[in-house]
Amino acid sequence: MTRFRAFWNLKAKREVSQADLDRLLGRRPAPKGLDPLTMDRILRLLGEGGSFTVEEVAEVLGLSRVTAWRYLEALRRKGGVRAEPLYRGAGRPSRVYRLG
């Protein structure tokens, strides 16, 4: 279905949901409880290339470490981001995230 036809189908509806608008505009909805703008900021950062730890994403974007981790893991579960272990001496390994 073309966007033009989709627009007219929405116009004929009595009520339009945010999900309807997102589909019409080609936006990727963020998982429940996550802000699409923050998700886009993280995807843009990862799109610059390279790999980032949770701590690096949090510092660059001004997020808490837990918030950065929640978004990165949501992206990983959706399949747009890969996570690989990073071993830095003793202790548990970190993960590095990259598009992929």
CATH number of this structure's domain 31-99: 1.10.10.10
**Structure token digits, residue 67:** 């918030």
Return d(Cα 36, Cα 70) in angstroms, integer.
13
What is the total residue count of the chain?
100
Segment 86-96 shows an average pLDDT of: 81
Q: Say whether pTM exceeds 0.85.
A: no
Q: According to the model, what pLDDT value does residue 21 have?
A: 65
Return d(Cα 6, Cα 1) in angstroms, integer.
7
Domain with CATH 1.10.10.10 in the chain: 31-99
Cβ neighbour number for residue 81 with a 10 Å cutoff: 20
Return d(Cα 80, Cα 59) in angstroms, integer.
22
Return d(Cα 74, Cα 58) in angstroms, integer.
15
| Tens-place pLDDT, residues 42-82 | 999 999 988 999 999 999 999 999 999 999 999 999 888 99
